[in-house]
Structure 1
Amino acid sequence: MAGKTWKFIKRLLLALLLVILVLVAAYWDLVVYGLRQAKGQLNIVWNARPVEEFLKDPQFPDSLKAKLVLINEVRKYAIDSLGLKDTKNYKTLYDQKGEEIMWVVTASEQFRLKAKEWEFPVLGAVPYKGFFNRELAIELGEELKKEGWDVSIRNPGGWSTLGWFTDPILSKMLERSEGDLANLIIHEMSHATIFVKDSIDYNENLATFIGDRGTEKFLISKYGEHAKEYQLYINENEDYLKFSDHMLRGSEKLDSLYKTMNENDSVSHKLALKTDMIKRIVSTLDTLTLSTAGPKPSSRYKERLPNNAYFMNFRRYQAKQDTFWEEWEQKFNSDLKSYIKYLSEKHPFL
């Protein structure tokens, strides 16, 4: 009897091993990617140091110490006054030594505003792919371009690992203004509180909404509604909203243009129409009335015009703001903590 049991166990283990080997072979690229991401993230977590060490270091600039203190205040406010999840995130600092450490690749169809998506366990379909290695990001970008995709590669100001790792403060975050830094922290803390599988556009738009409203409330709480710190943030944010609204309107014009195209149109003809439309969108940026002085908004595209992947980013982060605003204002009487509580109960984390 014991012999038969042992044979059964051996066969079961061999069958299980075979299944594992088949799955690894079938998802080899995903396995390799996951290991690379884990290695990159662990390197950052391992080399991050407690914030207290930097605060006690006489060589660490006082201006940056003030930013670290601010982050702690933002965390406390976000947890106590907004109801965001309390995690161990942003209690350590990773020194980037002035270098970028992550690159995010996004892609869209060439004549349609439709993002390429990658499937990941737990997260589901995701319209971007991150790398801790610049060459690998560029390599993927070139592959996608050859396949006919519009590609964008950017450096994110921060990211959330959704509890898989302890997210540190990145040293380049400390270069931001107070309002912008507070917004980034609240945005990423929102992801660690509410994150819906297969709904990246919803997640990013919601985190943007909570980040914007939460930062306004934090700055008023800390400085007062008439303080220069609050007014500076409001002016900068209003300028960005004017800019992003313009790009969203531009994406709608592109969408309408693509719908007029048909299979009989040559690629060169469609490219000419697309390029002309994007040039018009960019040139009319300079008609915006902005409160902050600086170069013309169109000048940032002097060397390269934006593409579909770039316009998709505005949809991903800004297109649903009116929807959230209306629900927050009408159903929750502009009570952000109650709104966040409602959303976190409606959408259990992952």
Structure 2
Amino acid sequence: MWKKVGIGVLLVLLVIGVWQRELISYGLMQGRGQLRILFNTKPVDEVLADASFPDSLKTKIELIQEIKRFAIDSVGLDPSGSYESFYDQHGKPILWVITAAEPYKLVAKQWNFPIIGTFSYKGFFKKDRADEQVTELKQAGWDTRVGEVSAWSTLGFLKDPILSSMLERPVGSLAELIIHELTHGTLFVKNSLEYNENLADFVGEYGALRFLAFKYGKASEEYQNYLATKAFYDRYDEHILRGTQTLDSLYGSFKPTTPVAVKDSLKWQAIRQIVVTSDTIRDERSTATRRSVKKRSLNKLNLPNNAYFIGYLTYRKQQNRFREEFVTRFHSDFKEYLTYLKKTYPSL
């Protein structure tokens, strides 16, 4: 009997392996990439004791330790074993993420993963595999976008290291990044990527401002530079979100009989207008700050497609919701707000 059961189980596993071979192959590839990083990290104490390691970078590593302690003790995020080790990328990107969207709708392609749920993006530790996936998606008619990633969270399943690329960031941006990723390890709702990323962005920005005020003071250059950056991107958010509404209306006006050439012409005309008018956004950042903070930029020579706007909505669409709820319902008491969120939204 046990022999028959064993054969039956083996057959089931073989069927699952054939049916889900792409997912299994992807999982093995990602697992190897993650293990390669973990096996090549060094404890922070060892890096700080290394006489050959630049003092300026040691200062940034020590700063990350301060940010982490502040995020746990003062912001109220969960304790974490992350950022206690260091991985040197040797100047190379570590992860590429692809997003895809329908060509005439702001609707994202979804990828389903065991345990963690549905995502509207997919990461790759190997650039050639990301490029292969992008080529397949383009051939299937999707708008696509691929970008390098500066950090990610394993949601507390593993101890995420400090990446060498993090040390290139200005203080405010670094604080925002670390607190953003620690938020994922504190609260991550399955199948709610937009909610998770918007929340982490909100907490990252809120926590960064509090940390900078605590460490340097509100009159400091660090605080004021970050405040100016945040004000600029708040205005940028509003501009892009208005643009997505314009695109939504345009795509909704298309009929099944509308020729593809007409759809494309109107689509790219609208996107070009969004890009060109972004020049009117008021920017009070210093020249040095503009050079040091690079994200969410638009390129007139290489117009973004729907995948850009989908990726943007994933991170920024719900910012006002969190801000208003935090201020009006919880009177800017963040620990009380976080307790409410944890009780209301079950986390992985």
Q: Same fold (TM over 0.5)?
A: yes
| Counterpart mapping for 1:43-58 below 5 A | 43-58=36-51
1:187 and 2:180 equivalent? Answer: yes
- Report what 1:348 is aligned to: 346
SS of residue paired to 2:186: coil
1:231 and 2:224 equivalent? Answer: yes
AA at the equivalent of 2:36:
N
Q: CA deviation at 1:165?
A: 2.2
| Counterpart mapping for 1:327-342 below 5 A | 327-342=325-340
Task: Encode CA deviations 1:142-181: one digit per residue, 9 max, x unaligned.
Answer: 1101111110100112100112322101100100000100
SS of residue paired to 2:303: coil
Q: CA deviation at 1:298?
A: 11
Q: Any stretches of 5+ residues in structure 1 without a counterpart?
A: 1-7
SS of residue paired to 1:152: strand
- Report what 1:316 is aligned to: 314
- Report what 1:4 is aligned to: none
298 and 340 in structure 1: CA distance in 2 versus 1, 3 angstrom threshold: closer
Q: 1:129 aligns with which of 119, 122, 128?
A: 122
Provide the TM-score with structure 1 as the length reference: 0.94
AA at the equivalent of 1:33:
Y
1:253 and 2:249 equivalent? Answer: no
Out of 52-61 and 107-116, give the one that drifted further: 52-61
Out of 233-242 and 104-113, give the one that drifted further: 233-242
| Distance across 1 between alignment mates of 2:3 and 2:346 | 40
AA at the equivalent of 1:160:
S
Q: 1:98 aligns with which of 84, 91, 94?
A: 91
Q: 2:142 aligns with which of 122, 126, 149?
A: 149
| Distance across 1 between alignment mates of 2:297 and 2:53 | 36
AA at the equivalent of 1:337:
K
Task: Encode CA deviations 1:67-93: one digit per residue, 9 max, x unaligned.
Answer: 111100111111111221112111111
| Counterpart mapping for 1:9-158 below 5 A | 9-158=2-151
- Report what 2:261 is aligned to: 268
- Report what 1:198 is aligned to: 191
- Report what 1:301 is aligned to: 299
- Report what 1:3 is aligned to: none
Q: Percent of counterpart pairs with the same letter?
A: 46
Residues 194 and 344, structure 1, Cα contact 8 Å, conserved in 2: yes
Moved over 6 A (4+): 295-299
Residues 115 and 309, structure 1, Cα contact 8 Å, conserved in 2: yes
Q: CA deviation at 1:299?
A: 8.7
Q: CA deviation at 1:349?
A: 2.1
1:241 and 2:239 equivalent? Answer: no
Out of 107-116 and 218-227, give the one that drifted further: 218-227
Task: Encode CA deviations 1:172-191: one digit per residue, 9 max, x unaligned.
Answer: 01000001001000000000
| Distance across 2 between alignment mates of 1:302 and 1:259 | 25
Residues 216 and 222, structure 2, Cα contact 8 Å, conserved in 1: yes
| Distance across 2 between alignment mates of 1:20 and 1:88 | 35
**Considering only aligned residues, what root-mean-square deviation do their CA atoms show, in Å?**
1.7
Residues 286 and 298, structure 1, Cα contact 8 Å, conserved in 2: no
Task: Encode CA deviations 1:201-251: one digit per residue, 9 max, x unaligned.
Answer: 000001011111111111111111211111111111111222222111111
Residues 237 and 316, structure 2, Cα contact 8 Å, conserved in 1: yes
* CA radius of gyration, larger in: 1
Equivalent residue pairs, number: 343
Provide the TM-score with structure 2 as the length reference: 0.95
Task: Encode CA deviations 1:276-326: one digit per residue, 9 max, x unaligned.
Answer: 001111110111110125599999513310110001122111110111111
| Distance across 2 between alignment mates of 1:21 and 1:228 | 61
SS of residue paired to 1:198: coil
1:284 and 2:282 equivalent? Answer: no
Q: CA deviation at 1:255?
A: 0.7
